[in-house]
């Protein structure tokens, strides 16, 4: 039986696990995805994103836990019986079939009449804005157009769930941005439910309603893009979300959700994300654009400029503190290489974590 035409309220992963021999690629993943949501699975290479997606698709068996659509358990069903739409990094189009035939392939397999196949395939091509390309072969299309065909092919079956595995990684930077917007538009227009695997935090932030950060096969944090951008709960999630500066020091004050560390005579304050006490070793993390040169701030540390680049509106550079930490900073001027600068850190945006023992 195909689920393709069934509407549903939620997809539930209950302690979903996958081992390869003795290696646990996925450890008891618990996650509920509501109908209509756009969820990104985000994490560094090898964290288990594709394994999770393939288990949901049915291309890979689970070795523990269950997958449910509402109350129906689906992890024993074959991929075709789950009826999910899939889009991969390598478009996987049939080279000898026209665009229209590629898009209609899934419907043909389902035994639909020719007229309906053509009508639905044309409608899907219109949705991805490829009306004029129906009779071409994939080889006659650009990478971005081929990826649109792959998306049309995935959505033409009206799947309850669309699964995408790094669909934009083969495209150049400009096309990636364009297709990113297209993918969100198509998701909205269809009222689809989408699970999207990526290692690119910008892509996850701009596309998703919720981001699931994975690490070593486990869920590290789940939140809205804003929650993850502003308040990553762990240092490794923060690093992954762009907090490139890490300053290690000793806590000299901790109260009211803030902590101040001392490092080489400088005192730096940020939001405390762990329980910290005076005397603890802690790490203050900040994004490059929250470390500013050329202002007379108090929450500041001195460093020697190592590199500086012109970026149009501002300059971005790196500088080394006396204790040997390299910081990325932004500033309004072309600071001289080797010169000493004061870098002010935005205390409302910096985060302080306990140092791992």
Ligand X SMILES: Nc1ncnc2c1ncn2[C@@H]1O[C@H](COP(=O)(O)OP(=O)(O)OP(=O)(O)O)[C@@H](O)[C@H]1O
- The least distance separating ligand X from the CB of residue 178, rounded to whole angstroms, comes to 23
For residues 331 and 283, is the Cβ–Cβ distance under 8 A?
no
Pick between residue 46 and residue 144 the one whose CB is nearest to ligand X: 46
What 3 state SS string does the chain have?
A: CCCCCCCCCEEEEEEEEEEECCEEEEEEEEEEEECCCEEEEECCCCCCHHHHHHHHHCCCCCCEEEEEECCEECCCCCHHHHCCEEECCCCCCCCCCCHHHHHHHHHHHCCCCHHHHHHHHHHHHHHCCCHHHCCCCHHHCCHHHHHHHHHHHHHCCCCCCEEEECCCCCCCHHHHHHHHHHHHHHHHHHCCCEEEEECCHHHHHHHCCEEEEEECCEEEEEECHHHHHHCCCCHHHHHHCCCCEEEEEEEEEEECCEEEEEECCEEEEEEECCCCCCCCEEEEEECHHHEEECCCCCCEEEEEEEEEEECCCCEEEEEECCCCCEEEEEECCCCCCCCEEEEEECCCCCEEEECCC
What character string, x for contact with ligand X (CB under 6 A) and - otherwise, covers 167-206?
--------------------------------x-------
Q: According to the binding rule CB under 6 A, does residue 212 interact with ligand X? A: no
Q: Min. distance of Cβ 136 from ligand X in angstroms?
A: 31
CB of 241 to ligand X, least distance (A): 16
Q: Which of 46, 66, 223, 264 binds ligand X (CB under 6 A)?
A: 46
Size of the site for ligand X (CB under 6 A): 12
49 belongs to the binding site for ligand X (CB under 6 A): yes
* Closer residue to ligand X, CB minimum distance, 199 or 349: 199
25 touching ligand X, by CB under 6 A: yes
Q: Please select the residue that binds ligand X; options are 20, 80, 126, 337, rule is CB under 6 A.
A: 20
Which range binds ligand X by CB under 6 A, 45-53, 141-149, 184-192, 341-349? Answer: 45-53
Q: Is 48 in the site for ligand X (CB under 6 A)?
A: yes
The answer to the question of residue 43 lying near ligand X (CB under 6 A) is: yes
Closer to ligand X by Cβ: residue 23 or 310: 23
* Residue from 3, 4, 33, 51 in contact with ligand X (CB under 6 A): 51
Give me the least distance between CB of 85 and ligand X, in Å please.
19
The least CB distance from residue 14 to ligand X, in Å, is 19
Tell me the closest approach of the beta carbon of residue 39 to ligand X, in angstroms.
15
Decide: is 219 part of the binding site for ligand X (CB under 6 A): no
Q: How near is the Cβ of 214 to ligand X at its closest, in Å?
A: 7
- The window from 20-28, 71-79, 228-236, 314-322 that contacts ligand X (CB under 6 A) reads 20-28
User: Using H for helix, E for strand and C for coil, what is the string for 190-213?
Assistant: HCCCEEEEECCHHHHHHHCCEEEE
User: Which residues contribute to the site for ligand X (CB under 6 A)?
Assistant: 20, 23, 25, 43, 45-51, 199
């Amino acid at each position: 039986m195909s689920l393709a035409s069934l509407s549903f309220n939620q997809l539930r992963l209950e302690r979903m696990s996958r081992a390869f021999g003795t290696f646990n690629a996925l450890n008891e993943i618990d996650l509920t995805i509501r109908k209509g949501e756009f969820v990104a699975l985000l994490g560094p290479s090898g964290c288990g994103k594709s394994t999770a997606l393939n288990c949901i698709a049915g291309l890979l068996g689970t070795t523990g836990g269950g997958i449910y659509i509402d109350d129906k358990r689906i992890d024993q069903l074959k991929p075709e019986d789950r009826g999910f739409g899939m889009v991969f990094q390598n478009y996987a189009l049939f080279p000898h079939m026209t665009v229209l035939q590629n898009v209609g392939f899934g419907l043909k397999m389902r035994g639909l009449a020719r007229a309906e196949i053509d009508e639905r395939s044309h409608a899907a091509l219109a949705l991805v804005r490829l009306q004029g390309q129906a009779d071409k072969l994939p080889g006659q299309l650009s990478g971005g157009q081929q990826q649109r065909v792959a998306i049309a092919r995935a959505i033409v079956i009206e799947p309850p769930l669309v699964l995408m595995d790094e669909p934009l990684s083969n495209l150049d930077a400009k096309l990636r941005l364009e297709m990113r917007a297209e993918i969100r538009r198509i998701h909205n227009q269809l009222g689809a439910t989408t699970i999207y695997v990526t290692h690119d935090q910008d892509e996850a932030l701009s596309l998703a309603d919720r981001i699931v950060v994975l690490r070593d096969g486990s869920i590290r944090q789940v939140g809205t893009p804003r929650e993850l951008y502003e308040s990553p709960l762990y240092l490794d999630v923060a690093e992954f979300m762009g907090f490139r500066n890490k300053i290690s020091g000793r806590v000299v004050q901790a109260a009211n959700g803030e902590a101040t560390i001392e490092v080489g005579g400088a005192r730096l304050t940020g939001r405390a994300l762990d329980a910290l006490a005076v005397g603890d070793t802690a790490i203050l993390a900040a994004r490059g654009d929250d470390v500013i040169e050329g202002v007379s701030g108090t929450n500041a540390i001195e460093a020697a400029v190592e590199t500086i680049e012109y970026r149009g509106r501002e300059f971005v550079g790196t500088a080394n503190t006396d204790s040997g930490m390299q910081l990325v900073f932004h500033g309004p001027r072309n600071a001289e290489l080797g010169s000493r600068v004061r870098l002010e850190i935005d205390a409302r945006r910096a985060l302080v974590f306990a140092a791992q023992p």
